[in-house]
């Protein structure tokens, strides 16, 4: 899974950071996580193809996370995108999109499905398993735990050759089927293949203050994407607006033993103070990055 950050600011765009938008590039598809105003414009500076986007996952309905969505969906149609697309969002998502398209006279040339999720819902999309959890914000906000598919084990060629099996198409059968037949005898394939490798886990949180649900999403994740709207000395502002600080993000990463932390949704008040902001994050959790627009990060192979 490769992540590309299209917008890493909070509230409103700045010259340095657009509002929330994140692309998740999978082997056979691309997802968007949130689609704030200007997200499709940011995509013009990347290799992301709108027609390849199969799903949009919306963390919550605040404007800086969704105002770019109708435009993106319309542009995808104008670019001759014909494959179906699913938008996952909280209650109100469907009504808002239908009303926007109706009032603006917009028509899509592909099948659009809108699924409104609830806390604890799970989904299978493009071979990945997604769990949704409700977070704590001034407005209903959610996070996603994305489990990638497990990687098949490799063929234990030495054991296969002990049976006298020559290399050929049967090797593929052994790797992909539960049982295989050789010279009239059946064998269990698992005895001749190494254990599968668990899929990578990415946790992506919407706007939130620290909460138990965030821990459920982040526990043991290979990558945690967490908002850090404010630095630690402005925790009172974080509470006022329902956000987290740098140290609250790093504390969660440490408590949940995540492999990598990327903080995003950063207030424009820190323009010109980027080094100070980054130092506070990395000093508390060295395996951290402060997201910038167009940052790319790959999880796994």
Count of Cβ atoms closer than 10 Å to residue 164 Cβ: 8
Cα–Cα distance list, 257 to 22, 214, 224, 261, 282 (Å) = 23, 13, 10, 10, 15
- Is-catalytic flag, 121? no
State the Cα–Cα distance between residues 241 and 230, nearest whole angstrom.
Answer: 10
Which uninterrupted H or E stretch holds 251? helix 246-255
Could you tell me whether strands 201-205 and 223-227 are parallel, antiparallel, or unpaired per DSSP bridges? parallel
The span from the CA of 184 to the CA of 283, in Å, is 63
Catalytic residue among 64, 119, 207, 222: 64
Closest to 30 in 3D by CA, of 68, 83, 75: 83
DSSP 61: -
Q: Would you mind telling me the total number of residues written for the chain in this entry?
A: 301
Q: Which residues of 55-82 are buried (b: 16+ CB within 10 A; e: fewer)?
A: bbbbbbbbebbbbbbbbbbbebbeeebe
State the catalytic residues: 64
């Amino acid at each position: 899974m490769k992540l590309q950050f299209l917008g890493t600011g909070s509230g409103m765009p700045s010259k340095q950071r657009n509002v929330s938008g994140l692309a998740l590039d999978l082997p056979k598809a691309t997802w968007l996580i949130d689609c704030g105003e200007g997200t499709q414009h940011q995509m013009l500076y990347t290799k992301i193809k709108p027609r390849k986007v199969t799903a949009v996952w919306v963390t919550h309905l605040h404007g800086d996370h969704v105002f770019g969505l109708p435009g993106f969906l319309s542009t995808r149609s104008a670019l001759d995108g014909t494959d179906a697309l699913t938008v996952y969002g909280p209650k109100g998502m469907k009504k808002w999109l239908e009303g926007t398209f109706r009032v603006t006279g917009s028509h899509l040339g592909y099948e659009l499905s809108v699924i409104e999720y609830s806390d604890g819902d799970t989904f299978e999309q493009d071979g990945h398993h997604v769990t949704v959890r409700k977070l704590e914000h001034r407005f209903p906000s959610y996070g996603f735990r994305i489990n990638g598919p497990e990687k098949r084990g490799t063929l234990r060629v030495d054991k296969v050759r002990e049976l006298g099996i020559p290399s050929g198409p049967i090797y593929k059968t052994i790797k992909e089927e539960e049982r295989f037949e050789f010279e009239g005898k059946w064998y269990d394939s698992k005895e001749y293949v190494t254990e599968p490798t668990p899929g990578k886990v990415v946790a992506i949180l919407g706007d939130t203050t620290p909460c138990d649900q965030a821990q459920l999403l982040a526990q043991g994740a290979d990558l945690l994407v967490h908002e850090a709207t404010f630095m630690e000395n402005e925790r009172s502002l974080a509470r006022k607006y329902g956000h987290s600080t740098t140290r609250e993000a790093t504390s969660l990463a440490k408590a949940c033993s995540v492999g990598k932390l990327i903080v995003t949704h950063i207030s424009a008040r820190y323009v010109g103070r980027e080094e100070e902001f980054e130092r506070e994050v990395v000093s508390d959790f060295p395996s951290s990055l402060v997201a910038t627009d167009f940052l790319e990060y790959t999880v796994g192979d």
